[in-house]
Structure 1
Amino acid sequence: MSVAIKISHAVKKYGNNTVIPDLSLDIREGEFFTLLGPSGCGKTTLLRMIAGFNSIEGGDFYFNEKRINDVEPNKRNIGMVFQNYAIFPHLTVRQNVGFGLKNRKCSKEEMESRTDEYLKLMQIEEYKDRLPERLSGGQQQRVALARALVIHPDVLLMDEPLSNLDAKLRVEMRSAIKDIQNQVGITTVYVTHDQEEAMAVSDRIAVFNHGVIQQIGTPQQLYQRPKNLFTATFIGRTNIVEGTLTVGENGTGSLVLARTCGADITGLKGLGKGTYPVKVSVRPEEFVIHESGKAGAVEAVVESSIFLGLNTHYNVRLATGERVDIIQESTIDHIIKPQTKISLTVKQEKINILSEDGSRNYLVGVEDDEE
């Protein structure tokens, strides 16, 4: 019921415009794999190539060992969930869910049994006799998901399935989708531009930009050790601060951040002895605020503070003129007021040191997860 997907040197062109220049990718059997990137980066195009809806100008696509380039979409045994649900307005919930089974000429008994199974799994059995117009957006999306899964596809493809829902429903539905995928164990390829959504549901994520995969990894790998500047800034929030890295003969480095903040760095790769201009990615929660001053820290001024319950967000201007966002755990009775002078250090084991052009991360352990 589930397959591994292998894509080797895929190319997609529209006339003279190359959308995907040369893409290779392995998706493991049974995993929840997300294609994440900004609008127009090629992620939906790749999904449609897997589905057979788009032509393939180069490369090979495999389900397990079977090459599927020339296999018609209706013979690839895929389930598809679209952004706009695409359920039939004139059919009841039960009829919508069973539609694919009817097309496959299943017996009446099997149709009823499998339809009931997925109505129950999606928690929509109480709506089975309703028309879609009487359902909420979340309920309609559950119908679309049940219809995709009831045919027992080898692969489930989902294209921005939650983008039409409000914020609360999105959170509820992404949890439901992940729970159901875990129960069914089907290989799932999910497309979204929402990085929080991707991190919440995915086993692994491929970060896309301009038809090129920037990095593949678990949500934790991408957040903690981004491979380049694009991934660092696209996954979660981060501050990019100019710095200088001096590497000694033993391969360890001394980092100077914003002219004054020093940090000793170990675990560097690809750098010989010398001094290098670098970009330093510091997540908002990786700054440490010192209100009484600290030797060797960055001098700064709080420009604004926003209390958000669990955390307080500060917008801070460094002595260099650079502005950074800082998130600190809220305390019961204290918020630093605007125009307060502070000093900053960083949690040096958590920051990421990028090349001046942002193309690579100099820390050991920053690799695609391809094992």
Structure 2
Amino acid sequence: MSVEISIRNAVKRYGENTIIEDLSLDVKNGEFFTLLGPSGCGKTTLLRMIAGFNTIEGGTFKFNDTLINIMNPEKRNIGMVFQNYAIFPNMSVRKNVEFGLKHKKNLKVDIKEETNKFLKLVKVDGYADRMPDRLSGGQQQRVALARALVIKPDVLLMDEPLSNLDAKLRVEMRTVIKEIQREVGITTIYVTHDQEEAMAVSDRIAVMKDGVIRHCSTPQKIYQRPADVFVATFIGKSNLLQAKVVKENDTQYVEFLNGYKVVFNDMKDANHEEKVTISARPEELTVHKEVQKDGIKGIVKDSVFLGLNTHYFVDLETNEEIEIIQESEIGEIIQPGSEITLTINTKKANVFSEDGNSLMHGVDNITTKEQADKAL
């Protein structure tokens, strides 16, 4: 069985230090939900509160309608996958996966059947009699996943499960984890600091900073319409350019430091002369090799050819430094020292107020059922 998770006004303190002050969140039944943020943001603390490994100083935590605040961890029916795998080194693969079922005193025939099922599901059935020290990191993590799922938990919690693997294995295992989660249909909360990993596996992501959820939505919406400057710069790469709002003849423009003006059709109404920050991802800037009348002039400082794309690092006439990504063309790499003009894709770039909040329409930031209802 899978459950919905409801958190309201959560508080976590360590002595005088408040890690989470007032956090509310809903995770849907069967959802793959990721807590993403830098070290120390509170994501693992929140995960451990859900698991029962950390005390809860305030608020309510529910699985469906059941309050779990003071429920013992073993009674919460959760499966847990850790960063260091935590499989028993003195037990074979099969015995590791059987462990939880034996602890629950299942019948021997059921233990064998369920163990075989999940060994096959995670594709380690060929290594059932091996000891953990004869497995690769990826194989050990598959075993840890099978052991967590075989007990049929209501919730699967995963704390940085891929951070000990090399880059190639991480990509492989995130695909495996997502495929298995979809097949089993279990409510999953996944903690990571890796933005690409979060984007690849998640139905929704909560971006956290200093114990606060700054933006909660689908990977696409968080990437395309981030709620604030922190989210824009934490998810992927973003160039930040300074500008101001000017209004002329009932038209609202964004004017850059060199006087270049553009219209953002999806931008909310702002005050005349209000200072703003433009977040433009490297692929949202267009390079013109010949000097243009409209745009921002710059000098190419360096270029990096990476096959499909070429990255250009440019010093602008506004004394700002940016990175641009352009599709590579045969024999067409712009050399360092070349003067260029860049223009901005106003359909994709974002505008933020002086306090860092988005000024764009279409920002979807939903953490609770109440907010979801208001968005309808």
CA contact (8 A) 1:42 1:209 kept: yes
1:15 is the counterpart of 2:15:
yes
Counterpart of 2:157 in structure 1 is 157
Runs of 4 or more consecutive aligned structure 1 residues displaced over 4 Å after TM superposition: 247-250
Q: Distance in 2 between matches of 1:48 and 1:262?
A: 49
- The match for 1:276 among 254, 267, 274 is 274
Change (3 A) 1:52 1:267: same
Q: Which amino acid aligns with 1:123?
A: K
Partner residue, 2:360: 363
Instruction: Give the secondary-structure state (helix, strand or coil) at the position aligned to 2:363.
Output: coil
The one-letter amino acid paired with 1:241 is L
Aligned to 1:188: 188
Aligned mate of 1:320, from 314, 318, 321? 318
How far 1:257 moved relative to its partner? 2.1
- The CA distance in 1 between the partners of 2:78 and 2:149, in whole Å, is 9
In the alignment, what sits opposite 1:260? 259
Structure 2 match to 1:222: 222
Unaligned ranges ≥5, structure 1 = none
How many corresponding residue pairs? 368
Aligned partners of 1:244 and 1:278 also within 8 Å: yes
C-alpha distance 51-153 of structure 1, shift in aligned 2 (>3 A): same
* Match for residue 347 of structure 1 among 341, 345, 348: 345
- Compute the RMSD of aligned alpha carbons: 1.1
- Structure 1 pair 303/88, CA: closer, same or farther in 2 (3 Å)? same
What amino acid sits opposite 2:71 in the alignment?
A: V
Residues of 1 paired with 2:237 and 2:303: CA distance? 17
CA separation in 1, counterparts of 2:332 and 2:264? 33
Distance 1:269 1:105 in 2: 60
Task: Name the amino acid aligned to 1:366.
Answer: V
Match of residue 300 from structure 1: 298
Question: In structure 1, how many angstroms separate the alpha carbons of the residues matched to 2:333 and 2:12?
Answer: 53
Which amino acid in structure 2 is aligned with residue 108 of structure 1?
K
* Distance in 1 separating the partners of 2:318 and 2:295: 13
Q: What is the CA-CA distance between 1:249 and the residue it aligns to?
A: 8.2
Give the TM-score normalised by structure 1.
0.97
**Equivalence map 1:98-137=2 (5 Å):** 98-137=98-137
> What's the CA shift for 1:247?
4.2
Contact 1:261 1:345 in 2 (8 A): no
Which letter maps to 2:209? N
User: In the TM superposition, what is the alpha-carbon distance from 1:271 to its structure 2 partner?
Assistant: 2.7
Is the partner of 1:130 in helix, strand or coil? coil
Q: Distance in 1 between matches of 2:200 and 2:194?
A: 10
Shift of 1:320: 1.4
Confirm or deny: 8 A CA contact 1:247 1:271 kept in the other structure: no
Q: Which residue of 2 aligns with 1:206?
A: 206
Corresponding residue number in structure 2 for 1:72: 72
Report deviation, 1:293: 1.6
Question: In the TM superposition, what is the alpha-carbon distance from 1:78 to its structure 2 partner?
Answer: 0.2
1:238-263 CA-to-partner distances (Å, cap 9, x unmatched) read 0001011124685x520112323321
Any conservation in 2 of the 1:81–1:161 contact (CA below 8 Å)? yes
Provide the C-alpha distance between the structure 1 equivalents of 2:197 and 2:216, rounded to a whole number of angstroms.
16
Identity of aligned residues (%): 58
1:327 shift after superposition: 0.3
* Deviation at residue 294 of structure 1 after TM alignment: 1.3
Instruction: Give the secondary-structure state (helix, strand or coil) at the position aligned to 1:275.
Output: coil
- Separation (CA, whole Å) in 1 of partners of 2:68 and 2:167: 37
DSSP-derived class of the 1:96 partner: helix
- Distance, in Å, in 1 between the alignment partners of 2:246 and 2:80 is 52
SS where residue 152 of structure 1 aligns? Answer: coil
